[in-house]
Amino acid sequence: MAGMLGTALAREKIISVTFLDTLEQMPTDSWDVSEVKNGSVMAWTEEKENGCVLYIAGEGGVKANADSSQLFRGCVKF
């Protein structure tokens, strides 16, 4: 299984992705997914019965790279 966002998180385990415009709900086990690795965009997961929800958040919203065509490559919908 391929990892997601530079982690060992299995893409097949993700059931949804939620983007947030604040880091207020960020748990301590979040990881930095910002382009410049400064903590401005963080990610974390929340376990559910049938998989996990992936959260991606940044203060004021998340701005994707101009070419984000591969961001969710390999993800499947159950």
pLDDT band at 64 (very low <50, low <70, confident <90, very high): confident
Does residue 57 register a pLDDT over 90?
yes
Q: pLDDT, tens digit, for every residue of 6-19?
A: 666 777 788 888 99
Q: How far apart are CA 45 and CA 68, in angstroms?
A: 20
Strands (E), 1-50: 14-20, 31-32, 42-48
What is the three-class DSSP state of 47?
strand
Q: How far apart are CA 48 and CA 71, in angstroms?
A: 22
Q: How far apart are CA 33 and CA 57, in angstroms?
A: 9
